[in-house]
Structure 1
Amino acid sequence: MEDITATTNEYNTDYILYQSDYCSKEYVARVGSIAIPIFFSIVIILSLIGNVMVLVILALYESLQSLTNIFILNLAVSDLMFTLGLPFWACSFIWGWIFGDAVCKGVNFVFFIGFYSSILFLMLMTIQRYVAVVYPLSDWETGQKFVFVPILAWVVSAAAAIPASVQSSVVSDPNDPNSLHCEPNSESDKFVVIYLQNFFFVSAFIVMAFCYIRILQTVFRTRAQRRHRTIKLIFCIVVVFFVSWAPYNIVIFLQLLSHHEIKAFLECNVSKHLDYALYVFKFLAFSHCCLNPVFYAFIGVKFRNHLKMILQKVFQRQRVTDHDQQRIATVQTQCSVL
């Protein structure tokens, strides 16, 4: 009897120590509540400036009969939709979710539409680039026969975003009932959302990798004068996409293993390291929405020239306004002297 009691007490002691160590993530949460809102604010500002500028340039100077410009337009819109969810997530890291259940579902829907459509339009732009280089006689670039493609991409994105919206609600923190979070209703719902994210990323990367390998093979066989510049651009696009999203998808997948009670991922230190890694790689992944304008728009010569024209007009108008104000001030001064 004494042996049983001693064994039970020892087990309970070990269990309590393990639980207190495992659940002690206050410092991790504090780091996230400070770092994530700051970083998200920077991403929001850069994304709004870059993507709105893309839309302005397309509206003023470019023709939307080109399929490339149609994809750039839709990519900018999807990145802006993705960006709209970031202020809500930033606020939730500071004060918890204070916006109610309806806003929780709506923000998830808009956010994930932006997320999935951004990946799809990056993939479609890659396919378009592949067809233009590998099959240069194709009429893909005209876009007249492929108007349905962007519409189909938005439909697929909306369908993929439905689970994240419908299966999310406002739940209270088990350790702090006063702290609310916008999260999936159950572990199985969370699995569906994460597996869907992983599926989209892996599928898109396989397609992009295949297309760019074939593009590079075609470019190396030709004697184009700007071959090295094209190779550098293609290399940057693939690397940025992979580096931005691959670590994030790997970490969220590894965190799922702890929910499947795999022993190695239940240890306190491993769990904390995964939380820190998730913060860092979430920063990297979510910043992709403000990098897209650079790599898919402003890196082009025409877009750079259009941007210069806009900036020149803005500064020229500002100089004219300052000059007029200075003349008015001078006239008022002379009148007051008289």
Structure 2
Amino acid sequence: MVEYPNTVTPDYEYSTDDYPDGLCNMDQNLVDVNTQTYIHSIICAFGLIGNALVIITYTFYKRTKTMTDVYLFNVAVTDLIFVVALPFIIYNEQQSWLMGSVACKILRSAYSINLYSGMLLLACISGDRYIAIVQARRSFGARSHALTYSRLICSAVWMFALALTLPTLMYTERFEERNPGVANATVMCELSFSNAETAKLMKVLVPSLQMAVGFLVPLLVMVFCYSSIVCTLLRAQSSQRHKAVRVVFAVVVIFIMCHLPYNVALLTHTVSLFQLRGCEAEEIKLKVLAVSRSVAYLHCCLNPILYAFIGVRFRSHFKQIVTDLWCFSKKYIYSARSSRGTSDICISGRVSSEGFNNMSSFSA
């Protein structure tokens, strides 16, 4: 009988100590590795471009003048942290974690920070839009200090996300695991516990926090706020109300489509952690977890589109970025005289772009 350490994968997909007899020899490549690599590469590419453009826009072209601006900037930052960490996570998983223990802890914590901070910030955006549209008259005076409030809220969200990530940071370890019938040891980066009681507690506590704080609470806030916003918009005499309602509908539906499958699969797995399961059924469940997790990752690519680029004025800033990049590229192609003229055009274009007002929350 081979004894296994009290370990559990960061996404709570599989742990050898879940099986009393240790007879299940789970294939770690449950979903084709190449397919997952391609999907995650696309997520990284689009997520990196979209969120970087949001950050560049707010840094150089559009000042953060509203609470939603501050929230959007912070959402882009947390999504960017995750998409930067994701390629290293994929590489190390395929190469048996060549990087050290510090990188192991940091990379495994990146998803947890992104999950908590990103989802809570999306809830803050829906709350801000609710106050701005539904409670517009009552909140007029209070919103004069919007930037101060939003920065304090964002600081609190980041601190809360870091606190919730502490179990992952503390218990994640890089270690070698020897499997029966395999000559070479497998280097793993997983949650590791010194005793069974701690393992049982964390196996329930951490995924429960992910489902509650990272999905259920933001979903309830978004459903309440956006339902109230839709009712208010439908009563308003505006030619743009139908477009605004469609945007609200798209935000909620895409959020549910991306995160509900993974949370349902994670809940099913957590409930069955301490029950005897058949190997075949477990393999199917792990495949569902892997696929649904990739779908959840996709949301970090869609956030810039749903919350930023859909705004008319934000799109104008994006066009200005493209124009300026084109202008500055010509600087290295043409003569010094042409480059000076091009540079002047770029600068004047940037200055004019700063004169735009804030983007409407639901302009399309």
TM-score, normalized by length of structure 1? 0.83
- In structure 1, the partner of 2:259 is 245
Give runs of aligned pairs for residues 18-37 of structure 1, distance below 5 A: 23-26=24-27, 29=29, 31-37=31-37
Q: Which residue pairs with 2:203 in the alignment?
A: 190
Partner residue in 2 for 1:90: 90
Extract unaligned runs of 5+ from structure 1: 1-18, 328-338
* Equivalence map 1:164-203=2 (5 Å): 164-173=168-177, 175=179, 178-186=185-193, 187-188=199-200, 189-200=202-213, 201-203=215-217
Cα shift readout 1:124-150 (whole Å, capped 9, x = no counterpart): 001001111111121454414513111
Change (3 A) 1:93 1:33: farther
State the Cα distance separating 1:106 from its structure 2 match: 2.1
Quickly say closer, same or farther: Cα 1:102–1:320, change in 2 above 3 A: closer
The structure showing larger relative contact order (alpha-carbon pairs under 8 Å, at least 6 residues apart) is: 2
Instruction: Give the Cα separation in 2 of the matches to 1:207 and 1:224.
Output: 26
Per mean C-alpha deviation after superposition, the further-off stretch among 98-107 and 119-128 is 98-107
Indicate the residue corresponding to 1:214 in structure 2. Answer: 228
Q: Could you say which residue in structure 1 is the equivalent of 2:359?
A: none
What SS is found at the alignment partner of 1:52?
Answer: helix
Alpha-carbon distance, 1:103 to partner:
1.8
The count of residues paired between Structure 1 and Structure 2 equals 304
Within a 5 Å distance, the mapping from 1:299-314 to structure 2 comes to 299-314=310-325
- For residues 259-288 of structure 1, the C-alpha deviation after alignment (integer angstroms, 9 at most, x for no partner) is 211x5xx12332121111112111110111
Distance in 1 between the 2:331 and 2:166 partners? 51
Aligned to 1:38: 38
TM-fit CA distance, 1:31: 3.2
Identify which range, 169-178 or 120-129, moves more after superposition: 169-178
- The equivalent position to 2:250 in structure 1, one of 220, 236, 244, is 236
Q: Residue 324 of structure 1: CA displacement?
A: 4.3
Q: Distance in 2 between matches of 1:155 and 1:279?
A: 29
Confirm or deny: 8 A CA contact 1:172 1:180 kept in the other structure: yes
Question: Contact conserved, 1:105 with 1:165, CA < 8 A, in 2?
Answer: yes
Question: Contact 2:178–2:185 at 8 Å: present in 1 too?
Answer: no
Please state how far the C-alpha of 1:301 moved relative to its aligned partner.
Answer: 0.5
Moved more, 309-318 or 237-246: 309-318
Alignment partner of 1:288 is 2:299 = yes
Flag the structure with higher helix content.
Answer: 1
What is the distance in 1 between the residues matched to 2:143 and 2:290? 40
The equivalences for 1:1-338 within 5 A come to: 23-26=24-27, 29=29, 31-137=31-137, 138-139=139-140, 141-142=143-144, 143-146=146-149, 147-173=151-177, 175=179, 178-186=185-193, 187-188=199-200, 189-200=202-213, 201-261=215-275, 263=276, 266-319=277-330, 321-324=332-335
The percentage of aligned residue pairs carrying the same residue is 28
How much does 1:24 deviate?
4.5
SS in 2 for 1:23: coil
2:228 & 2:208 partners in 1: Cα distance? 29
TM-score by length of structure 2 reads: 0.77
Q: Give me the whole-angstrom Cα distance separating, in 2, the residues matched to 1:149 and 1:30.
A: 41
Q: Any idea what SS the aligned residue of 2:173 has?
A: strand
* Aligned-partner SS, 2:29: helix
Q: What is the CA-CA distance between 1:208 and the residue it aligns to?
A: 1.0
Displacement after TM superposition at 1:295 (Å): 0.7
Deviation at 1:34, TM superposition (A): 2.4
Q: Which residue of 1 aligns with 2:17?
A: none
